[in-house]
Amino acid sequence: MSDREQIIKTEYSDVMQKSYIDYAMSVIVARALPDVRDGLKPVQRRTLYDMYELGIRYDRPYRKCARIVGDTMGKYHPHGDSSIYDALVVMAQEFKKGEALVDGHGNFGSIEGDGAAAMRYTEARLMKITQDVYLSDMDKNVVEFVPNFDETEKEPEVLPVRIPNLLVNGADGIAVGMATSIPPHNLAEVADGVKAYMKNNDITVAELMKYIKGPDFPTGGIVVNKDDLQSIYEKGMGKIRLRGKVEVEKGKGGRQLLVITEIPYTMIGANIGKFLNDVAQLVETKKTTDIADISNQSSKEGIRIVLELKKGTDVDNLINMLYKKTRLEDTFGVNMLAVANKKPETLSLKQVIEHHVDFQFEMTTRKYQNLLNKEQEKKEIQEGLIAACDVIDLIIEILRGSQNQQQVKDCLTMGVTNGIRFKKKASEKAASRLHFTKRQAEAILEMRLYKLIGLEIETLMKEHEQTLRNIARYEDILNNYDSMSAVIIKELDRIKKEYGRPRRTQVINAGEAVFEEKKVEEAEVGVLMDRFGYIKTVDKGIWERNQETIREEYQYSFCCSNMDKLCIFTEQGRMHTVKVLDLPSGRLRDKGMPIDNYGNYSIAKEKLLYLGALGELKSQKLVFMTRKGMLKQVDGSEFDVAKRTIAATKLAPDDEVVFVQPADTMDYVVLQSREGYFLRFLKEEIPEKKKTAIGVRGIRLAEGDEVAHGYLIESRMDYTITYHEKDVVLNKLKLGKRDTKGTKIRVS
Q: Are residue 369 and residue 260 in the same domain, yes or no?
A: no
DSSP one-letter string for 355-379: HHHHHHHHHHHHHHHHHHHHHHHHH
DSSP one-letter string for 267-305: GSSHHHHHHHHHHHHHHHTTS---EEEEEE--BTTB--E
- pLDDT for the residue 305: 94
Q: Is 551 exposed, middle or buried (0-12, 13-18, 19+ CB in 10 A)?
A: exposed
Cα distances (angstroms) measured from residue 559 to each of 171, 293, 546, 556, 585: 55, 30, 13, 10, 13
The Cα 692–Cα 694 span in angstroms is: 7
Give every CB contact of residue 69 below 8 A, 6+ residues apart in sequence. 47, 81, 84, 85, 88, 119
287 within domain boundaries: yes
Q: Are residue 483 and residue 531 in the same domain, yes or no?
A: no
The Cα 431–Cα 23 span in angstroms is: 68
Query: Which CATH number do you get for residue 587?
Result: 2.120.10.90
Picking from 621, 664, 657, 626, the residue whose alpha carbon sits closest to that of residue 639 is: 621
542 within domain boundaries: yes
Cα distances (angstroms) measured from residue 282 to each of 256, 370, 554: 19, 65, 27
> Which amino acid is located at 704 in the chain?
G
Range of the domain at 101: 23-182
Q: Are residue 494 and residue 553 in the same domain, yes or no?
A: no
- pLDDT for the residue 455: 62
Q: Are residue 314 and residue 361 in the same domain, yes or no?
A: no
DSSP one-letter string for 4-58: T--PPP--HHHHHHHHHHHHHHHHIIIIIS-BTTT---HHHHHHHHHHHHTT--T
Do 736 and 680 meet the contact criterion of CB atoms below 8 Å apart?
yes
- pLDDT for the residue 1: 47
Q: Are residue 123 and residue 176 in the same domain, yes or no?
A: yes
Residue segments in the chain with a per-residue pLDDT below the cut of 50: 1
For 710, other C-beta atoms within 10 Å of its C-beta total 23
Phi and psi, residue 38, nearest 5°: -110, -5
The Cα 279–Cα 307 span in angstroms is: 9
Beta bridge partners of 550: none
Picking from 102, 47, 118, 52, the residue whose alpha carbon sits closest to that of residue 76 is: 47
Q: Are residue 655 and residue 724 in the same domain, yes or no?
A: yes
Q: Are residue 553 and residue 475 in the same domain, yes or no?
A: no
220 within domain boundaries: no
Q: Are residue 725 and residue 596 in the same domain, yes or no?
A: yes
> Which amino acid is located at 462 in the chain?
K
- Among the candidates 133, 153, 182, a domain finishes at 182
683 within domain boundaries: yes
36 within domain boundaries: yes
Query: Which CATH number do you get for residue 378?
Result: 1.10.268.10
Do 507 and 223 meet the contact criterion of CB atoms below 8 Å apart?
yes
224 within domain boundaries: no
The Cα 114–Cα 120 span in angstroms is: 17
Query: Which CATH number do you get for residue 177?
Result: 3.90.199.10
Do 191 and 496 meet the contact criterion of CB atoms below 8 Å apart?
yes
For 305, other C-beta atoms within 10 Å of its C-beta total 21
Query: Which CATH number do you get for residue 290?
Result: 3.30.1360.40
Q: Are residue 592 and residue 739 in the same domain, yes or no?
A: yes
> Helix/strand/coil (H, E, C) string of 464-517?
HHHHHHHHHHHHHHHHCHHHHHHHHHHHHHHHHHHHCCCCCCEECECCCCCCCC
Give every CB contact of residue 2 below 8 A, 6+ residues apart in sequence. none
612 within domain boundaries: yes
503 within domain boundaries: no
| Helix, strand, coil shares, percent, the chain, to 5 | 40, 25, 40
Do 628 and 701 meet the contact criterion of CB atoms below 8 Å apart?
yes
Count of domains observed in the chain: 4
Q: Is 742 exposed, middle or buried (0-12, 13-18, 19+ CB in 10 A)?
A: buried
The Cα 715–Cα 713 span in angstroms is: 7
- Catalytic residue ranges: 121
Q: Are residue 76 and residue 167 in the same domain, yes or no?
A: yes
- pLDDT for the residue 24: 66
- Among the candidates 130, 154, 182, a domain finishes at 182
The Cα 166–Cα 183 span in angstroms is: 9
Q: Are residue 176 and residue 270 in the same domain, yes or no?
A: no
Do 158 and 146 meet the contact criterion of CB atoms below 8 Å apart?
no
Q: What is residue 189's three-state secondary structure?
A: helix
Q: Are residue 663 and residue 737 in the same domain, yes or no?
A: yes
